């Protein structure tokens, strides 16, 4: 829960470009997609050799999350058909170093991703499909922020942990875990040890939208859209697919802006914010939102932004 937007206290009619960009910047969530970026990430093997006490907890945290959310289902590779074996996707786990506000090393964050270049899609299918997750338009964001400041609405920023993994995948997809990752996985879950291949790798069926799969972004957006509609919000897809609105019988309004796994929630009342947050916490599968609610517009801290380095927690899960 953080402070209100600074434009409210400074009396600015419109939010500045810097204000909007700081609010919706999510570059730190983007997976590495170039050789240069990948070179900046610490490889799994190097991390295990140089800082095993830091690397291992991060690796286990990622693998446990995948197992607890039923993302991966280990299978016998020999049970697959020839076509399924050819379509198997190589997966890799990389570690990204996280730093505190003063620039000192804090911890590693692990992420298992599929190598989309090895996925068994035809060239035609790759060219025609639209797998991306839409993001809120900049002008839409400026407009809603201006309305928030004008009406002095209550706000909360929601950061979704493992966003894509909340969406179910609707096709047969298999990945191959490399021997190093597979060894750590079966050490944590020995029941899968007999499924290891001769080279030490492990074949798994993907049950949820794993990072790196071309269709994962779109699946996550569709899952999030369905969830927000269940909460009574309407997607303004004629204007912006990432703008959701809700108007109550008493005239109070709620807005939700979506930028992949970052959500900006605004409402006229605290009750509306609490309704969404509480609804999430009551789900069967442990799930919650990570709100950073704004303080009163008269607060002395209204000129500062909430830290984007705060811990994220799981989002709404599929049943």
User: With 0-12 CB in 10 A as exposed, 13-18 as middle and 19+ as buried, what is 224?
Assistant: buried
Q: How many CB atoms lie within 10 A of CB 124?
A: 8
Q: Which residue has the tokens 């993302």?
A: 71
Contacts 24+ apart (CB under 8 A), 119-125: 119/87, 119/89, 119/173, 119/213, 119/214, 120/86, 120/87, 120/88, 120/89, 121/214
Helix (H, G, I), strand (E, B) or coil at 179: helix
Give the pLDDT confidence score for residue 119 in this predicted structure. Answer: 53
pLDDT tens-digit profile, the chain (319 residues): 344 444 444 444 444 445 544 544 444 344 444 443 443 345 677 777 777 788 888 889 999 999 999 999 999 999 999 999 999 999 988 888 888 878 887 888 888 999 866 555 444 444 445 667 889 999 999 999 999 999 999 998 888 878 899 899 989 999 999 998 999 999 999 999 999 999 999 999 999 999 999 889 999 999 999 989 999 999 998 999 999 999 988 888 999 999 988 889 999 999 898 887 776 555 433 333 444 555 434 333 332 233 333 333 344 444 4
Helix (H, G, I), strand (E, B) or coil at 225: helix
Q: By C-alpha distance, which of 120, 112, 65 is closest to 92?
A: 112
The set of residues, in sequence order, having a beta carbon less than 8 Å from that of 80 and lying 6+ positions away, is 88, 174, 203
Give the pLDDT confidence score for residue 289 in this predicted structure. Answer: 41
CA-CA distance, 7 to 18, in Å (whole number)? Answer: 11
Give the pLDDT confidence score for residue 255 in this predicted structure. Answer: 94
- DSSP track, 17-42: HHHHHHHH--GGGSPP-SHHHHHHSB
CA-CA distance, 182 to 212, in Å (whole number)? Answer: 18
Q: Is residue 200 within 8 Å of 207, Cβ to Cβ?
A: no
Give the pLDDT confidence score for residue 297 in this predicted structure. Answer: 40
Vertex 157 angle, CA 155 and 160, to 5° = 150
Q: Which residue has the tokens 């009574």?
A: 232
pTM over 0.85: no
Give the pLDDT confidence score for residue 93 in this predicted structure. Answer: 87
| Token pair in block for residue 268 | 């006229």
Return the H-helix or E-strand segment holding 176: strand 174-177
Q: By C-alpha distance, which of 68, 74, 134 is closest to 314?
A: 68
DSSP-derived letter for residue 248 is -
């Amino acid at each position: 829960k953080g402070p209100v937007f600074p434009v409210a206290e400074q009396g600015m009619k419109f939010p500045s470009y810097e204000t909007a960009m700081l609010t919706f910047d999510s570059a730190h969530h983007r997976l590495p997609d170039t050789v240069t970026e990948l070179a900046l990430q610490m490889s799994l093997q190097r991390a295990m050799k140089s800082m095993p006490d830091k690397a291992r907890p991060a690796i286990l945290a990622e693998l446990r999350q995948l197992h607890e959310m039923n993302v991966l289902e280990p299978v016998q590779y020999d049970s697959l058909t020839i076509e399924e074996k050819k379509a198997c996707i190589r997966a890799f786990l990389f570690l990204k170093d996280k730093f505190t506000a003063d620039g000192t090393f804090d911890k590693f964050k692990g992420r298992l991703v599929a190598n989309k270049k090895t996925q068994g899609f035809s060239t035609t299918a790759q060219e025609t499909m639209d797998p991306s997750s839409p993001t809120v338009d900049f002008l839409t964001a400026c407009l809603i922020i201006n309305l928030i400041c004008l009406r002095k609405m209550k706000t909360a920023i929601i950061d979704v942990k493992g966003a894509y993994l909340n969406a179910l995948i609707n096709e047969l997809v298999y990945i191959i875990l490399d021997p190093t990752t597979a060894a750590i996985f079966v050490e944590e879950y020995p029941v899968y040890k007999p499924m290891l291949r001769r080279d030490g790798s492990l074949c798994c069926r993907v049950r949820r939208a794993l990072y790196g799969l071309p269709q994962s972004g779109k699946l996550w957006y569709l899952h999030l859209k369905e969830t927000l509609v269940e909460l009574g919000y309407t997607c303004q897809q004629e204007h912006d697919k990432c703008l959701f609105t809700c108007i109550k019988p008493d005239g109070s309004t709620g807005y939700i802006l979506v930028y992949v796994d970052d959500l900006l929630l605004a409402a006229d009342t605290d009750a509306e914010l609490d309704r969404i947050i509480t609804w999430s916490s009551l789900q069967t599968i442990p799930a919650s939102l990570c709100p950073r609610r704004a303080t009163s517009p008269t607060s002395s801290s209204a000129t500062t932004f909430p830290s984007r380095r705060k811990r994220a927690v799981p989002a709404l899960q599929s049943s």
